[in-house]
Structures are given as C-alpha cells and as structure tokens.
Amino acid sequence: MTIEESIIDMGWNFDNSFASLPKVFYSKTKPTPVPTPKLVILNKSLAKNLGLDIEGLESAEGVEILVGNKIIKGALPLAQAYAGHQFGHFTMLGDGRAILLGEHITPKGDRLDIQLKGAGKTPYSRSGDGRAALGPMLREYIISEAMNGLKIPTTRSLAVLLTGKEVWRETKLPGAILVRVATSHLRVGTFEYISNWGSEEDLKILADYTIKRHFPNINLANNPYLELLNAVIKSQAQLIAKWQLVGFIHGVMNTDNMAISGETIDYGPCAFMDTYDPKTVFSSIDLSGRYSYKNQPAIGKWNLMRFAHTLIPLIDKNQDRSIGIIQDAISNFTDIFQSYWLDGMRAKLGIFNKEKKDESIVKRLLELMEKNRADFTITFRDLSQNKVSSHENDLYSTREFIQWYKSWQERLARQSETTESSLQLMKNNNPSIIPRNHRVEEALDAAVDNGDFYVMNDLLNALANPYEYSNYQEKYSNPPPCTDKPYMTFCGT
Ligand code: AMP
Ligand code: MG
C-alpha cells in the first residue's frame, strides 16, 4: 500500500516548525499503512476546539488520515529522536512507535502536535514492532481525558482507531492507534539526546526553539537559558503538586516521559490511589518503588537535574560557575513544590488565607488517613460535603480524628469567609470522582472483549466534570470492592 496525500480540507491547518530543525533532531518517517482501519472513539469536543470538521473526521477519508494511511495536506511526518534516564539508567530511545504528523494551528492560534501512537516502525524502534494494542491506547484516552477534566495539564486524546491488524504481546491482541495532541513532545530526554549526540549549536537551537514555543515571555536580555531552567522547574513543581493533590501516580517518571511543556505525558502504568498510602506503587516493573506516590516530587527534582545538566554549556561559559548556578536553581525546587502543594491542600480544606500551622493541620489529617487506611478521594469529598458522621468511614469515629476535626473547624473560624464559601472552595478542589482502577478496567473489558463502548463513554462523561457533585458522579465514586490482591499496572506496550 502506498501513502497518498489527502486533499480534502477537514479544518487541518499544518505548520511544521519542528521539521525545520536540524536533521539530528528527527528521522523523516511515514506511518506504515494498516489494512482495515476503524474509528472506535472520537473526542468530539476536542475536535471542535481544534477547529476540525467532525463529519469529515468520521468519513472514510477522515479515518484514513487519522490512522496514517493518508497524509494530511501540509503535514511532514517524522519520528523524534530522544534519549532518557530509564529507572536511573541513560539510554538512547526516540519515537519507536509514534509518528509526529506535524503541528496543527487551531482557530485560536494555538500550535499543537498531532502524533499517531502505534503507527508502525521507525528508525528508533529497536526490537519493538512499532505498534500498540487497543486496551492500552483506550486506557491512555480515558486517563488523559480524566486528567484534563481534573484541570491538570496533560496531552490530550483525539481518537483511537483499530488497525485491523493484530499485535502479539503475551497473546494476540487487537492493534490500535491513538491520535495524541500535545503542546509539544519536547522532553527532558530531547535535551539529553541533543546534549549527547548533537553539537553545542544544536543545543542552543533546541533551547531557543523551546523558549519560543513554550516560554515566549522569557526575557532574552537576561540569561535566557537560566530563565528557561527556572520556568521548567516551576511548571514541573506545579504539575507534580497537582498530581499529589488528586492521588495520581504516573508510574514511569523516566526523563523521556517528562515533557518540557509541563503537561503530563506517556500514560503507561499510571493509576490513581484509592486507600491513602504514600508508599503506593502500581507498576509491575517498579520493584524498588522508585516511582511511588511519595517519591514523585523527589524524582521530579532528580529529572530536572538531568535537564539542568544539559544546559551547562549555555548558562555560563565558565563550567564551574554554570554548575553552581544550576545547583542553586534546582535547590529551589523543593520550596517551590512545597508552596504549590500547601496552597492546594489549603484549598482542599477550605482555607483561604495562610497561617504558619496550616501545614501541621494538613499533615495530621494525612497521618490519620494513612493509619486508618482511609480512601484519599472519599475523605476529601466527605469533608467537602460535611459528611463525617461515623458510619461513613471508620476514621471519622476515632478520638484522634474528632480532635483533628475540632482544630480544623477552629482554623476555619479564624478566616473571614463564610462556611458556604469554604465548602464551595473545597468542592472546586476535591474531585467527587477519579478514574478508579476497577471502573477503568470494567470499561476496557467491555470495549476490548465485547466491542461495547457504552461503559467507557458513560465513564468518560462522568469524568469530564469531576468537580460536580451530582448523582451521576456519585455512582462512579465508590472505592473498589475489598480484595487481597494489590492493583498492578503494566507498561502500555
Ligand atoms: P515508554 O515506556 O512508552 O515510554 O517507551 C519507551 C521507549 O520504547 C520509547 O522510545 C518508545 O517509543 C519505545 N517503544 C515502546 N513500545 C514500543 C513498540 N511496540 N515498538 C517500538 N518501540 C516501542
Ligand atoms: Mg515514553
């Protein structure tokens, strides 16, 4: 099968700035055509925001485009080169099964990458088949859209399509492609790659490109590369604080899975925590708990150090001075993170102003939640609805909790806002639902095993508005039935 260029205008508007970068950044690679593509889910509200014609996308020609059988007019498909520290070890990677079609410019003028994940082999595929299975692609669709509903920066999912070709994992599975939308796919690993295999000029080109694309407000007159580092530190601190505040565990925070834009990227073995336990880790391959819930901020900082390292030649001509500067910048991460996290926790507890002892109020609650194995989301949801009678949860009838509750109420009484506004602030910051693992699995089973997408669509509708406290959300908010087996996730390959 040969690839032809589509001439139908569906609202696509490509402009490929990444493709104009030096050749070391990528390999021009086209998607490998698939036999019988079928659209299984299209994100209509995202398509509308992108200025795309929904009927066009759903047409036979639209599907051929979304699956990579036809190339959108103006697109310049390529696989991006990158490296990464995987579980601490440095490796050369690159898009092994994803192809960037290029950048779509939305009617509002936003520049967004359109990437096909699972679109066939690339020069970076190593021993992989370049393909993806339906289950993991739908899982990324659900979790990324849930993150967007939770107002957490994330790559988005425009569509999932069946390829008509099976893939072999441990068994035969239906093959699929995810159409991913991102403000860019620049990763910490992109900088690591250029720093190792490109020239200093290439590195400067990458840094300048990143500033222009993501941080246009950086004052070029100062030290722009130090400002870039500070901006990335800030956006990562903010992102990871948001993860912690909803109990999200990324699962594989390798440097190739950390986007410079500050969006959550690469949903592999990620999951949301039910019972509050800071040691929670879901990924079956994370035997040492490197990427556990409580380690996420520290790993974020470690990854940022890898990023900072690549900038040494750009920040100061004197290497020793440059190293001193980046160490100072990175050492600020902990305070910046802590400040975002504490502000977020204050909002989760209905606190508007700042008092010195706020942190101890938050920490005491978390301690009691851990000790009593309370559900993270439900505890904050109950507090937001003032539903803390003892029958709701064992935690609420303990003497320690009753004491904590009293000190929290006294704290709230010391601010001028009304109880109603506190409860509203809490509802705006405590999701009534999260994509519970058992609900996600139920939706995936129905879709993958039976071709039934009703369960998934219903779940997605609820997850689109997680800060609403309606009956619709309520039905999805229960924790999983008790089980002895810990929930395990597997890399989305
Ligand atoms: P991930 O664990 O998804 O972040 O992927 C790590 C690396 O493995 C990236 O370079 C991917 O592009 C590559 N990769 C993952 N799955 C496949 C596959 N089935 N075929 C080729 N490359 C893959
Ligand atoms: Mg990855």
Nearest protein CA to atom 6 of ligand 1, as residue: 93
Residue 411 lies in a domain: no
Nearest protein CA to atom 13 of ligand 1, as residue: 96
Structure tokens at 215: 């941080």
**pLDDT confidence band for 336 (50 / 70 / 90):** very high
- At residue 266, the pLDDT reads 96
Closest CA to 435 of 379, 394, 486, 377: 377
* 274-332 pLDDT per residue, tens: 999 999 998 889 999 999 999 999 999 999 999 999 999 999 999 999 999 999 999 99
- At residue 143, the pLDDT reads 98
269 shares a domain with 154: no
Answer yes or no: is pLDDT of 469 > 70. yes
Closest CA to 361 of 407, 398, 422, 396: 407
CB 381 within 8 A of CB 349: no
Distance 492 CA to ligand 2 centre (A): 10
**Which residue out of 95, 113, 202, 256 is catalytically annotated?**
256
Q: What is the mean pLDDT of residues 226-240?
A: 98
CB 291 within 8 A of CB 266: no
Q: How far apart are the first and last CA of the chain?
A: 25
334 shares a domain with 262: yes
* 41-74 pLDDT per residue, tens: 999 999 999 999 999 999 999 999 999 999 998 9
Ligand 2 being an ion, which residues bring their Cβ within 5 A of it? 257, 266
Q: What is the mean pLDDT of residues 339-344?
A: 98
Q: Give the separation between CA 432 and CA 434, rounded to whole angstroms.
A: 7
Residue 97 in contact with ligand 1 by CB distance below 6 A: yes
Continuous segment of H or E residues that includes residue 310: helix 296-310
195 shares a domain with 177: no
- At residue 488, the pLDDT reads 76
103: number of CA atoms within 13 Å, CB side? 16
94 shares a domain with 64: yes
CB 249 within 8 A of CB 273: yes
Q: What is the mean pLDDT of residues 188-194?
A: 98
Answer yes or no: is pLDDT of 8 > 90. no
**pLDDT confidence band for 493 (50 / 70 / 90):** low
Residue 433 lies in a domain: no
Q: What is the mean pLDDT of residues 2-24?
A: 87
The total number of structural domains that make up the chain: 2
**pLDDT confidence band for 7 (50 / 70 / 90):** low
Q: Report the 10 Å Cβ neighbour count for 43.
A: 23
Q: Give the separation between CA 63 and CA 161, rounded to whole angstroms.
A: 8
Closest CA to 431 of 215, 272, 228, 231: 272
Which regions of 285-382 does DSSP assign to beta strands (E)?
A: none
Q: Give the separation between CA 109 and CA 247, rounded to whole angstroms.
A: 33
Residue 160 lies in a domain: yes
* 180-189 pLDDT per residue, tens: 999 999 999 9
Residues 6+ apart with CB under 8 A from 272: 246, 247, 248, 249, 377, 434, 435, 436, 437
More confident residue, 214 or 479: 214
* 238-279 pLDDT per residue, tens: 999 999 999 999 999 999 999 999 999 999 999 999 999 999
39 shares a domain with 19: yes
Instruction: Identify the domain boundary among 182, 207, 237.
Output: 182
- At residue 450, the pLDDT reads 95
328 shares a domain with 215: yes
228 shares a domain with 109: no
Instruction: Identify the domain boundary among 297, 317, 341.
Output: 341
CB 40 within 8 A of CB 178: no
Distance 257 CA to ligand 2 centre (A): 5
Nearest protein CA to atom 7 of ligand 1, as residue: 93
Q: Give the separation between CA 174 and CA 452, rounded to whole angstroms.
A: 14
Q: Which of 27, 85, 97 has most ligand 1 atoms within 8 Å of CB, for mutation?
A: 97
CB 194 within 8 A of CB 201: no
Residue 209 lies in a domain: yes
Structure tokens at 230: 């500070």
* 116-135 pLDDT per residue, tens: 999 999 999 999 999 999 99
CA angle (229, 98, 43) in 5-degree steps? 90
Answer yes or no: is pLDDT of 211 > 60. yes
- At residue 46, the pLDDT reads 98
- The distance from CA 41 to its chain's CA centroid, rounded to whole angstroms, is 20
Q: Which of 89, 93, 166, 265 has most ligand 1 atoms within 8 Å of CB, for mutation?
A: 93
- At residue 479, the pLDDT reads 86
Distance 492 CA to ligand 1 centre (A): 9
Parallel, antiparallel or unpaired: strands 83-86 and 89-92: antiparallel
Q: Which domain holds residue 251?
A: 188-341
Answer yes or no: is pLDDT of 484 > 60. no
Instruction: Identify the domain boundary among 182, 203, 230.
Output: 182
219 shares a domain with 337: yes
Residue 239 lies in a domain: yes
202 shares a domain with 329: yes
Residue 256 known to be catalytic: yes
**pLDDT confidence band for 485 (50 / 70 / 90):** low
Q: Give the separation between CA 199 and CA 348, rounded to whole angstroms.
A: 47
Mean pLDDT of the chain: 95
